[in-house]
Amino acid sequence: MNTAADTSVLLARGSRKEKGEGSLRAVDGVDLDIGPGDAVGALAGLED
């Protein structure tokens, strides 16, 4: 049986991003699996 780690082109676990000094959690505990042939779009507007 294949797992996500065997078939993913990009695999991220527990991603986290905070804005400022911990006052705003933009991303907290996000898991992401991108497989072959998947289409993905991302947009970010937080600047450090």
The radius of gyration of the chain's CA atoms, rounded to the nearest angstrom, is 14
Which residue is it, tokens 């986290």? 16
Write out the two tokens for 24: 């705003």
Q: What is the pLDDT of residues 18-40, one digit of tens each?
A: 877 767 887 888 898 899 899 88
pTM (two decimals): 0.51
Predicted local confidence at residue 22, as pLDDT: 61
Q: What is the pLDDT of residues 2-22, one digit of tens each?
A: 565 578 888 889 988 887 776
Burial of 8 (0-12, 13-18, 19+ CB in 10 A): middle
